[in-house]
Amino acid sequence: MRIALYPNADRDPGFGVTRRLISSITGYGATAVIEAGILPDFHEEGLVRGPYTDCQLMICLGGDGTFLSAAHHDSSRELPKIGVNLGSVGFLMEIEVDRLDQALERLLQADYQVEDRSLLESSCFDTGGHKVLTDEALNDVVIARGSRAKSIILGLEIDGVRVQNIPGDGVIVSTPTGSTAYSLSAGGPIVHPASDVILITPICPHTMQNRTYVISADSQITLRLISNQDGATLTVDGRGGLEISTGSRVKVQSAKRKVKYIRLWGESFYQTLPAKIQQRGLSR
């Protein structure tokens, strides 16, 4: 078996966990692979440099941001993925370091389940109607105000029907997977990752009503920037940071592609959730 590794140098200083994992993989007679363009200065006995496309699964080492980065990496997009938690919370990370050896044994024996996690496809159009960006999100698509404390107004449409104007700091459109990320911090609900829905959560809305819309995953969402005094920024899974201007539109819908997410332990989402939430508060 060829196992792709996706390490994070910031989360694994000195690559102690990565080196240990490579040693364990080769000890079982399997092959540890890191693509040539990733961490080119990292070397370890037994490590093979080669394409991720030849691998059977990927292990991400870091935090949730590392997993998100791997999910968007071109050559590993279709690989089933699992994460080793080296971050502060790791909602997306299935493996804690103290269970790494046990986890590797189960992976090599193909003793795991694979879940499909939904993605959002977002497209941004400028004031002339020209498409300037298309991207996918495993967690969320966010339109937020600029660096100055000036609110923006976003017009929300769902399936071509005008719903409301939302004044405030912006709007988060998230997947069920992303419901425990930024959307949760903005007051959104926690949704099981297998739910077939999309969440629309206002950020600090300047209104007496602050509620998340939970809509069908078949819906199409349009957010139009109606008013801004200091610009607004579009980010997709925290990446990019595209400046948009008044009159720009962002369309969001479910993507056709899914992320293959490996589950090992058979634990319910609701079993691990309280510990993750509590850890978020204690680890910062």
- The reported pLDDT for the residue numbered 283 is 46
> What is the spatial distance between Cα 142 and Cα 172, in angstroms, rounded to a whole number?
5
Per-residue DSSP letter, 44: -
Are residues 104 and 182 located together in one domain of the fold?
A: no
Half-sphere exposure of 284 (CA within 13 A, CB side): 8
Four-CA torsion 58, 240, 280, 211, nearest 10 degrees = -120
Do 197 and 278 fall into the same domain?
no
Task: Based on the fold, state whether residues 175 and 273 are members of the same structural domain.
Answer: no
The catalytic residue positions are 64
**Span of 74-88, 235-249, 263-277 with lowest mean pLDDT:** 263-277
How many domains does the chain contain in total?
Answer: 2
CATH code of the domain covering residue 162:
2.60.200.30
Which two structure tokens, joined as six digits, stand for 21? 């994992």
- Would you state the structure tokens that stand for residue 236, as one six-digit string? 């997709």
Shared-domain flag, residues 8 and 38: yes
Q: Are residues 200 and 270 in the same domain?
A: no
Task: Report pLDDT for 284.
Answer: 43
Residue 126 above 50 pLDDT?
yes
The pair phi, psi for residue 229, each rounded to 5°, is -105, -15
Domain identity same for 108 and 137: no
pLDDT digit string, tens, across residues 6-60: 999 999 999 999 999 999 999 999 999 999 999 999 999 999 999 999 999 999 9
- Is pLDDT of 72 > 50? yes
Does one domain contain both 236 and 276?
Answer: no
Q: What rounded mean pLDDT belongs to the chain? A: 93
Q: Are residues 78 and 150 in the same domain?
A: no
Same domain, 248 and 163: yes
Amino acid at 257: R
In the chain, % of residues over pLDDT 90:
83
148 with 197, same domain? Answer: yes
Which CATH number covers residue 19?
3.40.50.10330
For residues 213 and 274, membership in a common domain is answered with no
Residue ranges making up the domain that contains 177: 119-257
7 with 107, same domain: the answer is yes
